[in-house]
Amino acid sequence: MEFILSLRETELFSNSLYAYTLAAIVFLVSLSVLKIFKSLIVSKILKIAIKTENTLDDMLIDAINIIHWPFYVLVSLYVSFRFISLPDFLSGTIYYLVLISVIYYAIKFAEKIIDHFSKKIVESKEEEGGAEIVNLLSSVLKIVLWVGAVVLLLSNMGYNVTSLIAGLGIGGIAVALALQNILSDLFSSVSIYFDKPFKVGDFVTINGYSGNIKKIGIKTTRIQALQGEEIVMSNNELTQAKVQNFGLMDRRRVVLPLGVTYQTSTEKLKKIPSIIKEIIDKQEGATFDRSHFKEYGDSSLGFETVYYIESAEYAEYMDIQEGVNLEIFRKFEEEKIEFAYPTQTLFIEK
């Protein structure tokens, strides 16, 4: 008791030795509790992580592990200094250091969460160009978080941030006006990524240009044209254009018109639909729909046949169509059925 009384009575820098001792004990206990608390949380999440297949728990462990010793030391100091009297500037300095530390690690924790979900979105989309856009959006979100953190810190330090926020707003408007074309393409790329009017590899026709989508970038999309050249179009232009996307087709519908001469007999006219049906049924990758004697033309008897090619690939579509056409020509030649072509027959009455 005498020792404790002597500590209470002995003063140093306006505080008793007892107060310093108590503050030191509180500092050590706080530091130990915080470290143990962190270890317990991490070990608890690790046990859950072993039983689950998702990566959310791994993300939480990484986020907690980014909090290093300066944070625990500063928080422990702040708690322990509550038991002693300090000059205003020193207590204020400790308070702001703790505040900066809390805000810093809170932002780093939020960044880990953003990175985790950005990665999950990219993996789920599995598209070229997707990582570029998602990473850009996550970077913009991180910048917004840091700007908000700075404003919050300045506000807590007693600064009037109203004018600063107004200045940021005016500056943002000025930047947006200066970069409106770039921002328009950027927002269009985000729209393309999430709306998916087409994806890399699709065969499309846009504004008279046809080709395969080669790359979807942040500002432009590149199309490999059939002639071999590369067409670069702005994303803003693409979102406003009419896009024919052949890559989304499961199969192609083919309408095949045929004309035979008026000299063809009725018996042969009746056989033509069944001949064509048999040819298409034998062709691999083709599905017959219908074939009819459709009309009387000026110089031919018109037939219309409809069939489907069970592929979206243009080269395969042309191969099958060529096979059907050649076989029809051979069969008509065999059956002595003549194809019609524009002619005029002049009958002279004697």
pLDDT in tens, 203-221: 888 887 888 888 877 778 8
Is there a domain that residue 345 lies in? no
Structurally, how many domains does the chain consist of? 3
Residue 256's H or E segment, with its range, is strand 252-260
Task: Kindly tell me the burial class for residue 80, based on how many C-beta atoms sit within 10 Å of its own C-beta (0-12, 13-18, 19 or more).
Answer: buried
Are 63 and 112 in a shared domain?
yes
Greatest mean pLDDT among 19-28, 70-79, 85-94, 215-224 = 215-224
- Written as six digits, the tokens of 6 are 């002597």
Q: What is the DSSP letter of 339?
A: B
Q: What is the mean pLDDT of residues 243-249?
A: 76
One domain for residues 262 and 313: yes
Task: Decide which of 5 and 164 is more confident.
Answer: 164
Domain that holds residue 106: 2-126
Are residues 6 and 106 both part of a single domain?
Answer: yes
Mean pLDDT, range 90-118, rounded to an integer: 79
Cβ(23)–Cβ(83) below 8 Å: yes
Residue 184 falls inside a structural domain: yes
CA proximity to 339, closest of 309, 297, 279: 297
The domain boundary, picked from 198, 215, 248, lies at 248
User: Are 146 and 115 within one domain?
Assistant: no
Q: What is the mean pLDDT of residues 311-323?
A: 86
Quickly count: other Cβ atoms within 10 Å of residue 20's Cβ. 18
- Which residues are paired to 286 by β-bridges? 309
Q: What is the pLDDT of residues 2-39, one digit of tens each?
A: 545 555 555 555 555 666 677 777 778 777 777 777 67
**What's the rounded mean pLDDT across residues 164-171?**
60
Radius of gyration of the chain (CA): 39
pLDDT of residue 124: 65
> Does residue 179 or residue 329 have the better pLDDT?
329
- Residue at 347 is within a domain: no
Which domain CATH number covers 291? 3.30.70.100
Do 260 and 275 have their domain in common? yes
Do 6 and 115 lie in one domain? The reply is yes
Q: Quick one: pLDDT band at residue 341, thresholds 50, 70, 90?
A: confident
Contact at 8 Å (CB) between 24 and 80? yes
Please indicate, yes or no, if residue 89 is contained in any of the structural domains: yes
Same domain, 43 and 15: yes
Q: How many CB atoms lie within 10 A of CB 247?
A: 15
* Distance separating alpha carbons of residues 99 and 93, to the nearest angstrom: 10
Q: How many CB atoms lie within 10 A of CB 329?
A: 11
Token readout for 269 is 């006219």
Query: What CATH number is given to the structural domain containing 133?
Result: 2.30.30.60
pTM (whole model) above 0.85 = no
Last residue of a domain, one of 87, 106, 126: 126
- Judgement on whether residues 282 and 175 belong to the same structural domain of the protein: no
Residues 107 and 204 in one domain: no
Output the average pLDDT for the chain. Answer: 76
User: How much is the average pLDDT of 161-180?
Assistant: 58
Quickly list DSSP for 85-111.
Answer: ---HHHHHHHHHHHHHHHHHHHHHHHH
Q: Using an 8 Å Cβ cutoff, are 243 and 250 in contact?
A: no
Q: Highest mean pLDDT: which of 8-12, 109-113, 200-204, 337-341?
A: 337-341
Alpha-carbon distance of 172 to 162, in angstroms, equals 15
Mean pLDDT score, 167-183: 57
Look at residue 187 and tell me if it is in a domain: yes
Give a yes or no: residue 141 inside a domain: yes
User: Residue 27's pLDDT is what?
Assistant: 74
| Percent of the chain topping pLDDT 70 | 68
Give the Å distances, CA to CA, from 132 to 125, 186, 197, 215, 217. Answer: 12, 11, 18, 11, 7
pLDDT of residue 127: 53
Say yes or no: 121 and 136 in one domain. Answer: no
The answer to whether residue 100 is domain-embedded is: yes
Domain identity same for 205 and 216: yes
DSSP state of 309: E
Asked if the model's pLDDT at residue 323 lies above 50, the reply is: yes
Co-location of 121 and 133 in the same domain: no
Which of 126, 145, 165 is the last residue before a domain boundary?
A: 126
The answer to whether residues 340 and 261 touch, using CB atoms and an 8 Å cutoff, is yes
> What are the C-alpha distances in Å from 254 to residues 84, 92, 251, 331?
89, 80, 10, 20
